[in-house]
Structure 1
Amino acid sequence: MAKFFSETMALVLFFVAASVVFRSIPSSAELTSLDHSPKNGRSLSALVIGDWGRRGEYNQSQVATQMGRIGEKLDIDFVISTGDNFYENGLTGLEDNNFEESFSNVYTAKSLQKPWYSVLGNHDYRGDVLAQLSPVLQKMDSRFICMRSFILNAEIADFFFVDTNPFVEKYWTDPEDNTYDWRNVAPRQIYMSKLMKDLDDALKKSTATWKIVVGHHTMRSVSEHGDTPELLQFILPILKANGVDLYVNGHDHCLEHISSNDSPIQYLTSGGGSKAWRGVYRPNSDTLRFFHDGQGFMSLQLTKSEAAIAFYDVFGHVLYKWTMAKFGEEAHPAM
């Protein structure tokens, strides 16, 4: 334990030093800010989907059909993608037809012709990341908005999209993961330090009623991948210190709601966009409220006083609903 503590402190001190020493060096971790005005200014509605891009296979098309139906019913403002947008190995380049076959030709419902705000997943990093980040894709399909890390200001809520991939150490050290495209990311320590500082600063400046962080990797999960230790060590303290309400992710191919036992944070996994049914359940120390080891997606509805989530299965059936009320500066689960 003493060794772990000393190593952790050494790394933290390195990050602090790096943020000072390299402050003048441009970094792609800097958070770009986008604005999205809700349709009526008083409420916001979105769908959340992750781990989907399989050319319609593994029930991706069936999930997309139900997303279209629910999207119309809720009159959604936009869609959030939690990453792993294109399997198995991201895009090979701008000419890769996987973009159209896994995105444009699958999510064709009228209600889904809204912006798709997306982060990168680990499978996306196994391809040409710069192609997936290229504005050329937006010319091909204007819905697709993908950046490493950025802020979406939506009046009622601020969404902080975070590139969690560089934090996972094994992607850098495991020989099986040597195909990751780390252009504009390496060196890892400098990138992480800058991103952590930018996220902390942005969260502190936010005056939105709801603060929601979106990343690909799990923070807390009872499924195959489980918790991501690096996020618990480096990102979670920033979220706790800045009053974040929701952490939304994919990575585990399931649907989950876990409540933190020592903070108001709710952990929401929506990674059931295609291939699922892992058959793994590993409980952790926080409070598990809902777990579905299968395909589906999530809806999120926000007003200044309430946040409501719902999980849907591949048939569009509501599996679970939960609400949180906001009183002043505090959020409370609605029983």
Structure 2
Amino acid sequence: MMSFLFTLVISFGLCILCASAELQRFAHSSKHDGSLSFLVLGDWGRRGAYNQSQVAFQMGKVGEKLDVDFVVSTGDNFYDNGLTSEHDNAFEESFTKIYTAKSLQKQWYSVLGNHDYRGDAEAQLSPVLREIDSRWLCLRSFIVDSELVEIFFVDTTPFVDDYFTEPQEHKYDWRGIGPQKPYITSLLKDLELALRGSTAKWKIVVGHHAIRSVGHHGDTQQLINQLLPILQANNIDFYVNGHDHCLEHISDTESPIEFLTSGAGSKAWRGDIKQMNRKGLNFFYDGQGFMSVKLTHTDATIEFYDVFGNVIHRLTSSKLLRSSM
């Protein structure tokens, strides 16, 4: 009898562990009319420098106009090397004191970028930061579910082999990751399961690193090899990233996926664009800016804004007819 109870307890414990391995899910209601809108910003935290404050000001104006429901950060939240701890004043100086507009006092959903991993990565995941500023929510990988859309946030930094094998002068905080390959295998399995079970009208995946980019960093080959086939097989509408300090729109040549880069939250104007691999390129802008997304049951409207708040590119997509302009 004792042996049976011991086996039962162990089995129950394993079930709990299995359940905890699934991607954490956060519900975020759509508006009363069923629509949803949000802003997307990446590569920003520089205590207001490099036009970060100017971008924040324009985000506030657009956020008010669209009545945004939340903000998405594509990573590299704090430069140059993430946060030093939960009590690093860079959190308030680069986030709380910069994004002060009333329209931006909404939930911020954030992933980690490679620069965040160069500091105390776990500090950004800590609930202590949410006590300092309740808007902040950053996890490695998770899902935001509004029924109309499911947004799948993916921790892409551990996919990049060079960060492990050739870190150069940088030191990465791999606590909580464990061995690279089992971590990625488990993450991809959980993501594929969640994507396959999704019944949302729109499916968006957010990561820090680009799958397709003609900017300075270019394509991320590990994501092309390991992540892209899963996205193509599961009817993803948009893959959204940062990393390259620019704004981009590239269409996948093998599926309906649109690749959208919003990594221009502060330092930009790198001055280089890859002449190779430009197939599917619809738009590239090397300066600072951000992106907005508005979704209804039938249509998606995505707009890119420069540091002056001008719309410099618009993508419209329909579940019945896809088009871009």
Q: TM over 0.5: same fold? A: yes
2:187 aligned residue (195, 198, 208): 195
Confirm whether residue 104 of structure 1 aligns to residue 96 of structure 2: yes
**Does structure 2 conserve the Cα–Cα contact (< 8 Å) formed by 1:28 and 1:185?**
no
Q: Are 2:214 and 2:278, in contact at CA under 8 Å, matched by a contact in 1? A: no
SS of residue paired to 2:59: helix
CA apart distance, 1:130: 1.1
CA-to-aligned-CA distance 1:160-207 (integer Å, 9 cap, x gap): 000001000000001416510000102111100000000000000000
Task: Provide closer, same or farther for how the CA distance between residues 29 and 294 of structure 1 changes in structure 2, counting only shifts above 3 A.
Answer: farther
Task: Note the 1:267-306 alignment, pairs <5 A.
Answer: 267-282=259-274, 283-306=276-299
Would you say the 8 A contact 2:144–2:152 is kept in 1?
A: yes
- What is the alpha-carbon distance in structure 2 between the residues aligned to residue 215 and residue 23 of structure 1? 29
Partners of 2:129 and 2:313 in 1: how far apart?
35
From 252, 264, 273, the counterpart of 1:260 = 252
Matched, 1:220 2:215: no
Off by >4 Å, runs of 4+ in structure 1: 22-29
> In the aligned structure 2, how far is the partner of 1:194 from the partner of 1:24?
16
- The amino acid of 2:284's aligned partner reads F
Report if aligned partners of 2:207, 2:241 keep a CA contact under 8 Å in 1.
yes
Distance 2:47 2:106 in 1: 20
> What residue is the counterpart of 2:80 in the other structure?
88
Pair 1:71-2:63 in alignment: yes
Give the AA of the match of 1:259.
S
* Code of the aligned partner of 2:67: D
**What amino acid is aligned across from residue 239 of structure 2 in structure 1?**
Y
2:314 and 2:324 in contact (8 A); partners too: no
Whether 2:323 is the aligned partner of 1:333: answer yes
CA-CA distance at 1:24 after TM superposition = 9.2
Cα contact 2:47–2:98 (8 A) shared by 1 = yes
Alignment of 1:1-335 (within 5 A): 30-176=22-168, 178-282=170-274, 283-327=276-320, 332-333=322-323
Q: Displacement, 1:89?
A: 0.5
Matched to 2:233, the amino acid is A
Distance, in Å, in 2 between the alignment partners of 1:180 and 1:278 is: 24
CA distance in 1: counterparts of 2:153 and 2:294, whole angstroms: 18
TM normalised by structure 1 equals 0.90
What percentage of aligned pairs have identical amino acids? Answer: 62
- Separation of aligned partners in 1, 2:141 and 2:21: 6
Structure 2 Cα separation of the partners of residues 176 and 111 of structure 1: 41
Aligned to 1:9: none
Aligned partner of 1:10 in structure 2 is none
TM-score when normalising by structure 2: 0.92
| Alpha-carbon separation, structure 2, partners of 1:201 and 1:316 | 39
Residue segments in structure 2 that go unaligned for 5+ positions in a row: 1-13
Aligned residue pair count:
311
User: What letter corresponds to residue 291 of structure 2 in structure 1?
Assistant: M
Q: The residue matched to 1:237 in structure 2 has which SS? A: helix
Please report the RMSD computed on the Cα atoms of aligned residues, expressed in angstroms: 1.7
Report the Cα distance in structure 2 between the residues aligned to 1:186 and 1:128, rounded to whole angstroms: 16
CA distance in 2, matches of 1:142, 1:167: 30
Report the AA paired with residue 273 of structure 1. G
Residue 333 of structure 1: CA displacement?
A: 1.8
C-alpha separation in 1, matches of 2:69 and 2:26: 14
For residues 3-45 of structure 1, the C-alpha deviation after alignment (integer angstroms, 9 at most, x for no partner) is xxxxxxxxxxxxxxxxxxx999769864100100012251011
Question: How far apart, in 2, do the equivalents of 1:232 and 1:266 lie?
Answer: 14
Change (3 A) 1:187 1:101: same
